[in-house]
Structures are given as structure tokens and as C-alpha cells.
Amino acid sequence: MSLNFCSLSSGSSGNCYYIGNGFQGILIDAGISATSIRRFLGSINVSLQTIMAVFISHNHSDHIKGLEVLIRKNHIPVFTTENIWKSISPRNRISSDCVREIPLEQIVHLAGFDIEVFKVSHDAPETIGFHISFGDKKITIATDLGYICQTSAKYIKEANLLVIESNYDEELLTNGGYPEFLKARIKSDKGHLANHQSSEFLAGIINEGLSHICLAHLSKNNNTPEHALATLENTLRVKGIITENGPKIVVLKRNVPSEMITIGN
């Protein structure tokens, strides 16, 4: 049994991830246009007709921009928590028949996947991460979080493929042109994870089961793929963690799909 992952877009301008099992798939977030979602899925030979659900992490526009059109045109059900659904502004234009409210930290069975959602710390009314199992393979997605709480850590540690936020480089943000209040918001416990925060956490949890680390949700203005990768590699080197046979590290691109990553056989 194999589990496929592809990031269609990842970053502060728009987020959408595809997870498939060879037959059916789901999307996590719809923060790019419905047209781009269809086109990007086509580029990896996935038809929208095989998408059984779109899960929504929170109400920020970089996660829901394409949702309304995607649902109206394709009648794909939306899965999210009651609190998140209530906080989404286009909900009045989406038929409630399309919505499935799901509980926190309980397994939802869908298209052969077992899916659990868990709360993360972020400045939206509610924000969730995702833990998706297919057979014995597991993907955890945790982006848009100011720090890694115990619950998030539990799900992150179980992942074979981990999508984790590496939003900003501390120096680029501190010395950049953002107003002070915004810098403070991004750095806060309800903001985003810095390169050094995710790197230090990863250094503490790398284990044999972890085959892929995808650094995600990079800021356009306060980060670069090179900064994110160098921070993680340097942190692992300084702490003496050998990565030659360790997890493959991928930095997800902002506006184009990643390679399709398959875990399992």
C-alpha cells in the first residue's frame, strides 16, 4: 500500500496539498484558485473526480481562497471543525449539504484513509493540523503554528512524511520592512514557526520511521528556500545528527507543485 503526497502550492500566498492512495485522494486547504488546483492536479495526472474531500485548516485567505468556486463547480465535500466552519466567510455561499463537521483528535474514515485533526496555536478562531494514515504509513501536516504544543508534537513524531512550517528567517524578519506589530505577531506563540524553531524541534525527533521532511509555508518576504534548508542542515550538523541515511529533506515551492512523493511500496 502506498501513500502519495504532492504540494500544489505552499507559502504565505496560497496553500493546497494533495494526498492520494493510487485510487482516490483528498486535498488539504484550497488557498489557490480552483483553476490552478485543477491544472496542477492535471500536471501530476490526478483528476478532480478522484478527490473525495477538501479539508480546511483555518479561515485565513491563503488557505480558503479557491474554496467557494472549487465546491460550487465540483460538489466536493468540505471537512473541517464546527468552529472553523463558523469562521469561514464564504460559508453562506456554499451549500451546507457539502459540509461535514469533524471532531478534534478522533479518527475519521474516508476513502481508505484514517484522518485525525488536531488543534495548533495560531491567530485564527481555530486552526488544525492533520494526521493521515493509509495502511501503516502516516503523513502529518502542521503549518501555521506559533509553537509546537504537546499535542502537535505527538502527531508530528508519528509521521513517516512530515510537512512542517518553516515560515521565516529570524534575521530577515527582524531587519526587514514589516511594521513592528506585524513582526511581533509573526514571532508570537500564535504566529508562525521560524526556521530555527522547526529545525531545533526536528533535531530532537528524527527517527528511523521518518523518511521525508517537507519544509512548508515559507514567507515570501522573510525567508528563502536556501535559508530554510541551511538552517535545518546546520542545526542537524551542530547537534551531530547524521542525515546521510536519514530523512530526505524537501523545501516546498510557493507557486508550483512539488514532485510527487510516494511512501510505502
What residues form DSSP beta bridges with 133?
Answer: 114, 138
Burial of 33 (0-12, 13-18, 19+ CB in 10 A): middle
Q: Choose the binding region for Zn ion from 100-108, 144-152, 194-202, 221-229 (rule: CB under 5 A).
A: 144-152
Instruction: Name the 3-class secondary structure at 265.
Output: coil
Q: Please identify, using beta-carbon distances, which residue of 190 and 196 lies nearer to Zn ion.
A: 190
Q: Give the nearest distance from C-beta 95 to Zn ion in angstroms.
A: 25
Q: Give the nearest distance from C-beta 210 to Zn ion in angstroms.
A: 24
Pairing of strands 2-9, 108-110: unpaired
Nearest to residue 243, comparing CAs of 200, 193, 206?
Answer: 206
Q: Choose the binding region for Zn ion from 142-150, 173-181, 194-202, 255-263 (rule: CB under 5 A).
A: 142-150
Q: Give residues 59-98 in contact with Zn ion (rule: CB under 5 A).
A: 60, 62
Task: Based on the shown chain and the rule CB under 5 A, indicate whether residue 144 belongs to the binding site for Zn ion.
Answer: yes
Strand ranges (E), 41-143: 51-55, 78-80, 99-101, 108-110, 113-119, 128-134, 137-142
Q: Choose the binding region for Zn ion from 53-61, 149-157, 162-170, 253-261 (rule: CB under 5 A).
A: 53-61
For Zn ion (CB under 5 A), the number of binding residues is 3
Alpha-carbon distance of 218 to 234, in angstroms, equals: 18
Q: Give the nearest distance from C-beta 123 to Zn ion in angstroms.
A: 7
Which residues of this chain interact with Zn ion, rule CB under 5 A?
Answer: 60, 62, 144
